[in-house]
Amino acid sequence: MREGSIMSFEYKTPKPRTIGILILLFIILIVLWGTFVIVPAGHRGVCLWWGSVEKRIMGEGLNFIVPIAERVIKVDVKVQPHPFKEIDASSKEYQMVKMTGMMNFHIDPSYVNDLYQKVGLDFADKVIDPAFNDFVKEVVPTYPIGEILPKREEIRQRAMKKLGENLARYHIIVDDIYFANIRFSPGYEGAVEAKQVAQQQVETQKQVLAQREIEAQQKVATAKGEAESIQVVAQGQAKANDALSRSITPILVQYKSIEKWNGILPQVSGGAVPFVDLRKMGGLPGGTEESKK
């Protein structure tokens, strides 16, 4: 190319052979991509041959299939929760009872193809809910309304057994059942609430009476203690008074009189009694004849 000339590119049309090779490679890629399928953990693959369920079941991981002819339905076999719809039933006395609950279940991995063929993937609405409905309407009426709540665990165990037997034919395994809520008619619930309030009031009155009884016993004990204390004091005072009375003698009385005398003899005439009787004090042991008279 000479200097200063204009550069030009010539577009070449692909040859038909090249186009054919690219198309063939694309088809091969599609075919290869469609020859395998990945089944995630906790799942099994149901194989359909032109729409017909096959006997073989694909496990987790990479699995090869026949392109176009085979199709794989992935089914979850892990433990799954299923909430029950609220079911209306009646007690033994024909009182209204409403129950809701939750069931944990899983599908037997060895029979996912049979479940898919007989029921399909909407098995919860087709078989689980009707089984729970039948159980509630069959078992709950055998209990008096006052025993439904106290025997809730017993009813739960019966539900597990009954539903387990019912759903086993579909290869659905019941792991556990929980009753989320049990309700009764508004009238019965009001009566139960009123009874509970009355029982609480009775218990409160019992506590008040017990407290008053304790207080009365405390007062009796206090009064008894005070009475015994007064009795002891009185007995001590009586003993003291007795000892005091025995200690007061005529000599002591005369002595106390002398202690209080101011030294002035009383001015009396006639036969007055002496202020101090010396014979009583021992001053005149024998006394005179006149004193004896």
> Would the pTM count as exceeding 0.75?
no
Q: In the prediction, which pLDDT does 15 show?
A: 66
Residue linked to tokens 């009764």? 184
Q: In the prediction, which pLDDT does 166 show?
A: 93
| Polymer length in residues for the chain | 293
Range of the structural domain that residue 232 is part of: 190-242
Residues 104 and 168 in one domain: yes
Residues 87 and 72 in one domain: no
Residues 84 and 177 in one domain: yes
Residues 71 and 103 in one domain: no
CATH of residue 112's domain is 3.30.479.30
CA pair distance 82, 28, nearest whole angstrom: 44
Classify residue 284: in a domain, yes or no. Answer: no
CA pair distance 75, 58, nearest whole angstrom: 10
Residues 226 and 152 in one domain: no
Classify residue 170: in a domain, yes or no. Answer: yes
DSSP string covering 168-233, please?
Answer: GGGTEEEEEEEEEEEEE-HHHHHHHHHHHHHHHHHHHHHHHHHHHHHHHHHHHHHHHHHHHHHHHH
Residues 117 and 174 in one domain: yes
Residues 195 and 180 in one domain: no
Residues 160 and 90 in one domain: yes
Classify residue 195: in a domain, yes or no. Answer: yes
Among residues 37, 54, 76, the one where a domain terminates is 76
Q: In the prediction, which pLDDT does 187 show?
A: 74
Q: In the prediction, which pLDDT does 87 show?
A: 87
Classify residue 255: in a domain, yes or no. Answer: no
Among residues 168, 184, 200, the one where a domain terminates is 184
Among residues 41, 59, 76, the one where a domain terminates is 76
User: How many C-beta atoms lie closer than 10 Å to residue 124's C-beta?
Assistant: 16
Q: Per-10-residue mean pLDDT for the chain, 293 residues long?
A: 49 68 74 80 94 93 87 95 89 88 95 94 92 90 90 92 93 93 77 63 73 79 76 71 63 62 60 53 48 44
Q: In the prediction, which pLDDT does 5 show?
A: 47
Classify residue 134: in a domain, yes or no. Answer: yes
Classify residue 62: in a domain, yes or no. Answer: yes
Q: In the prediction, which pLDDT does 284 show?
A: 46
Classify residue 262: in a domain, yes or no. Answer: no
Classify residue 11: in a domain, yes or no. Answer: no
Element spanning 259, H or E: helix 250-260
Domain count, the chain: 3
